[in-house]
Amino acid sequence: MLADRRFDFARDLLLSGDLVAAEDLFVQATDLAPGFATAWFTLGEVRELLGDRQGAITAFRTAESTDPGDRNGAGLRLMRMGAADVAGMRPTYVTALFDQYAPKFDAALLDDLGYRGPALLLAAVLGARAAAGKPPTFGRVIDLGCGTGLAARAFAGVAGEIVGIDLSPRMIERARATGLYAELDVADIAEGLARRPDGSADLILAADVIVYVHDMAPLLAEVARVLASGGLFAFTVESHAGEGVVLGGGLRYAHSAASVRGLIATSGLMLDRLEPASSRTESGAQVPGLVVVAAKR
């Protein structure tokens, strides 16, 4: 109880801008409760703001070690600081993030960030179908990381049925409320696809989802298996001018265009189009990105 009180006082001081006093109280809270992962994590944030890099690293490492699921994302902070190798996100972190985010998700994306990922994907997919001389309709669509159903709203007019997969139960609840999905599955996107039969989807979508995927190869392998011949995989991704995959300041992964091209080629899919396109803004600026469509031969 004493640790909780100090934590609450420290958080109030942090919100008021008194970082030095907040740090002292967070230290007191961790002294009283050495396994208080959230206190260690917030102490790391405060120390980072104060310019104490080594102190922040120590706090984040302790936060990570005291919570095996790393629900606060201390490991990601260490990656961003260059104190740990860039690796995948913990599923428990992603679930906690989006369960908490679900009630305000649509407003935050559409009103605050100018999100237009589904619209970009719809235009790209319809363009690919037109170029191939095929009708702009799909029997079964799988919406990876379906969230609250924004992509389903965009594709409802061209889909026979839509299956949604998302790791967050609260996001799934909101997706269900749209009435647009024939089926919804609470699962990691690659694991959810692994439960689908071979050749059972005509279109697979991933709108603003690959930003939470460090290694695309296992996902692409499942996509290639689940797509029917001639089916499409369409996704948006944040990008950067360097090589490989980096973790950006917003704790999302950015993939280089060359990396995306190489992974698609290795998966056995055929790249249909890869175009620069920003699906959202951040701090008033367009976030560099790509819209990608790949086809199953």
pLDDT interval class at 110 (50, 70, 90): confident
pLDDT, the chain, mean: 96
Spell out the residues 6+ positions from residue 141 whose beta carbon is closer than 8 angstroms to its own.
Answer: 155, 159, 160, 161, 162, 163, 201, 202, 203, 204, 205
All structural domains of the chain: 2-84 (1.25.40.10), 103-295 (3.40.50.150)
> Kindly report the CA angle at 264 between 263 and 269, in degrees rounded to 5?
145
Q: For 70-92, what is the mean pLDDT?
A: 96
pTM of the model: 0.94
DSSP string computed for 111-147: IIS---HHHHHHHHHHHHHHHTT--S-EEEEEEET-T
Containing H/E element for 229?
Answer: strand 227-238
Give residue 285's pLDDT.
Answer: 92
DSSP string computed for 89-119: PPHHHHHHHHHHHGGGHHIIIIIIS---HHH
Q: Is 244 in contact with 254 (CB distance < 8 Å)?
A: no
Query: How far is Cα 19 from Cα 47, in angstroms, rounded to an integer?
Result: 8
Give residue 108's pLDDT.
Answer: 82
The answer, yes or no, to whether residue 276 has pLDDT greater than 90, is yes
* Residue range 39-48, pLDDT digits in tens: 999 999 999 9
- Please, what is the end-to-end C-alpha distance for the chain in angstroms? 61
Could you tell me the two tokens for 167? 């790791």
Spell out the residues 6+ positions from residue 102 whose beta carbon is closer than 8 angstroms to its own.
Answer: 148, 168, 170, 171, 173, 174
pLDDT interval class at 31 (50, 70, 90): very high
Containing H/E element for 9?
Answer: helix 2-16
The answer, yes or no, to whether residue 111 has pLDDT greater than 90, is no
Query: How far is Cα 62 from Cα 93, in angstroms, rounded to an integer?
Result: 16
Spell out the residues 6+ positions from residue 218 whose beta carbon is closer than 8 angstroms to its own.
Answer: 190
The answer, yes or no, to whether residue 101 has pLDDT greater than 90, is no
pLDDT interval class at 105 (50, 70, 90): confident
